[in-house]
Structures are given as structure tokens and as C-alpha cells.
Structure 1
């Protein structure tokens, strides 16, 4: 991090870098949630296929 002798410049620099970090963090969280949703959807599809293929269904009464 760069500290300049002028305190106002330093404060504005720190503020802008914090906002950028916050934006990057939001983007990472968004991507993580999308990937987690996709992986859960894929796992659910695999499990549904396995249960359909195995024939372990309970017979209807």
C-alpha cells in the first residue's frame, strides 16, 4: 500500500482501494453461490438418475 505525505490523498486512496476490494468480494461471493447452486443441481440430477436406474423404488400400494 502506498502512503503519501498528504493525508487527504492517503485517505482517498485507502477509501478507493477498500471500495474496490468490496466490489471484488461481492463478485467472488456471487460466483461462488452460482457454482455451488450448479454443483448441487448436478448432484441432484446424478442422484435422481441413480435411483431411477437401480429399481429400488417402493411399490405403490
Structure 2
């Protein structure tokens, strides 16, 4: 939930019309599931830990952010 507070500052947050919360028995399991999800490139805006992360960082630096 803390992530969503930070996401409010992003350019894409106003486009979010729904979200879901899935709970797992441990943080380790949650991290593993998230890693699989991101590796499958299913997240349009969440590029952290994906091949697109470097491109995103370069655009942010170029924009002075």
C-alpha cells in the first residue's frame, strides 16, 4: 500500500482505474510472484526489475527527474 502513496506522484497514476491486492503467506513468496509477473512483462507501467528499467531511468534523467 505504501507504493500506491508514492505512485500518486507519477504521470501515469491518473490513468489507473482499478487495482487488486493479493496476499501471500510470506514476503519471499510475494517477491517471487512479483518477479515472475514483471518478467512476463505484464505490468504496463511498473518497469522496475524488467529489461525496460534502464530505458525508464534514462528518460527520467533526461527529463531532469
**TM-score, normalization by structure 1:** 0.30
Structure number, greater radius of gyration: 1
**TM-score, normalization by structure 2:** 0.29
Structure with greater proportional helix content: 1
